[in-house]
Structure 1
Amino acid sequence: GNTGQSVGGLYCNAQGKLELTNPTLSKTLCIKGTGEVKVKNTIGRNVPICRTDYPGTESETVPLDTQPGQEYELTCPDANKYYTWGDAATSAQYYINPAGSPVEDACRWNEAGSNMGNWAPVNLGVGKGPTGQTYISIFANKPTNPDGKLNFNLEIVGDVSGKCAYIDGEFYNNGVADPSGCTVLVTGTATYKIY
């Protein structure tokens, strides 16, 4: 847009037909990720994970309602094939909601104190950069809800450069408490394990 926000998706043209707003990016509405990153729910309740619709409204409205015992692919955008903003590569951001939250309440703009949606306590960052390296992260939803807590733990496992985890409401970078969260390089495949 005129003030720097991302714009993407569909619009209705003068003939009343839907068109992609950026047909040079893709000929389809959805672009598949790299397939390198997954999430596995190993607890006894659902955990809603909400991706930011970027480009678009930039709200956390793309739902993934992870179910107990199930594994899912998380979209990991490839910067060389995905949306750029101001000539800069973009990645995916996910909002992690408390276990047991209804996905229809979690994956939308919410309100202070809800611990859901844009007020979810924890974010994930996922992306393959222009040089071909994939980085993924776990971090607090600052400044929106820096004191919020999840009712489960989360760690990154697989072919990664270090240990990155969220345990009992704290972030750990290679086993050391770090309030800023953690980021790891993925050298094969990686899974966010909910436990």
Structure 2
Amino acid sequence: MKFQITSSRAAALVALIASVDAARHGHGHTHAHHQEARFVPENTTLQKKSGQCQFPTDAGLVSITPNEQNAGWAMSPNQPCEPGNYCPYACPPGQVSMQWDPLATSYTYPLSMNGGLYCDENGQIQKPFPNKPYCEDGTGAMTAKNKASQPVAFCQTVLPGNEAMLIPTLVEELSTLAVPGMSYWCETAAQYYINAPGVSVEEGCVWGTNAKPVGNWSPYTAGGNTVADGSTFLKIGWNPIYLQTTCPFRNTKPTFGIEIECEGGGCNGLPCKIDPSVNDVNEMSAPDVFTGAGGATGCVVTVPKGSKANVIVFDVDGSGSGSSSGSSSSNTRLPKSSPSMSYTYRPHVFAPTGAAEISSFGSSGSSGSSGSSGSSATGAASASATKTGAATSTAFSMMGVALGAVAAMFMNF
């Protein structure tokens, strides 16, 4: 079974790779206080202190830069959790957050910023969905497998929230990555930045500058979501911001590669791989390579229900490289983008991406059994953001929006 994308109407799928632009998010955000929403106070260890809502320390959550102003919340380091705001939090690896603004029912700014718990006007934490846990397990369809010589920092973006890539998973050998299912907020996907082996989560899971190819300037990204029929769509690709004309290392090959490996067979879209010992910057090996915002390339693998896929990280000398078994498709290498291409940020602007048609057809020599007709879905809007350099600038990126577009696109597939 071969995964095919109608090229003339693939805008929403292209938005997936566009979603991984490191759109330098602002740190100060304005959140609407909605009188209509009703909340139940949470009885965990919480208290008002210095006009802030305190991070719950006994709820099994991951504390993000606890010594900074965010004090553990999954917010920018200099952004405190203040009354009248929603305050996102980070879940342990493999889990997704299940608390957000009940009024945020579509991917629309600024409600898309309102993830986590509500800090009321009295400085008390309110749990928007009292009967839901803080976190729940993802679908378990994607793991990160480290075949490199040093640990690897996978950094998940905060969504709903400011979409900064603050949620850490340090992969020493094998770690489950959080892949959302249909119960997750607006049925969107999870997005990760992949740092070079040896970069710590403290250095890699923060927004940085182009002084180093880490964090939002790291070369690669990955993403995934599981849809109603149990299928999971995983993507790896180049980070558009790594390719910007202003990026000093845009022509430098990374010292590591990534690929998707399927367990259990039946995956479509293999091989899906970036190997700098073979590929130049912004080149990939895949049967269906697509180009997104900023000219960044990516590939998507469809993982059937009950199967699992690994995102493998390996050193460029090839000693740790895995092999994408299960597909007889020949490798396709996309030429490097034009040096003149750069990504244009459009703060707070949503541009409809149209529809995309995704089809599966039976094909001899490919893994899988029988094909099924695809479905069309209207892609969600995409937006991007720029950070002015001031710590309190407000911005919004197209990252999660495009991921939401893909999630919506695949929802009924």
Interval containing the TM-score (normalised by the shorter chain): 0.7 to 0.9
1:186 paired residue number: 303
1:145 lines up with 2:249 in the alignment: no
Query: Where does 1:1-195 land on structure 2 (aligned, <5 Å)?
Result: 4-5=109-110, 6=112, 7-20=114-127, 22-23=128-129, 27-67=132-172, 70-78=173-181, 80-84=182-186, 89-142=187-240, 144-146=241-243, 147=250, 149-158=253-262, 159=265, 160-161=267-268, 162-168=270-276, 169=281, 170-174=283-287, 180-187=297-304, 188-195=307-314
Q: Give the TM-score taking structure 1 as reference length.
A: 0.84
Q: What percentage of aligned pairs have identical amino acids? A: 31
Moved more, 6-15 or 121-130: 6-15
Higher Cα Rg, which structure: 2
Shift of 1:136: 0.2
CA RMSD of aligned residues (A): 2.3
More helix by share: 2
Q: Please tell me whether the aligned partners of residues 97 and 150 of structure 1 are also in contact (alpha carbons under 8 angstroms).
A: no
Residues 32/177 of structure 1: CA separation in 2 closer, same or farther (3 Å cut): closer
Moved more, 33-42 or 150-159: 150-159
- Residue 65 of structure 1 and its aligned partner are, at CA, apart by 1.3
Higher strand share: 1
**Greater length-normalized contact order (CA 8 Å, ≥ 6 residues apart):** 2
Normalised TM-score (structure 2): 0.42
1:113 & 1:125 partners in 2: Cα distance?
Answer: 25
Deviation digits for residues 51-87 of structure 1, max 9, x if unmatched? 00111121000001111xx111011100x21101xxx
Structure 1 stretches lacking a partner, 5+ long: none
Residue 91 of structure 1 deviates from its aligned partner by 0.1
Structure 2 unaligned runs (5+)? 1-30, 33-107, 244-249, 315-413
Aligned-pair CA distance for 1:176: 7.4
Q: Tell me how far apart the structure 2 counterparts of residues 56 and 176 of structure 1 sit (CA, whole Å).
A: 30
- AA aligned to 2:272 is C
Post-superposition offset of 1:29: 2.1
One-letter amino acid matched to 1:150:
P
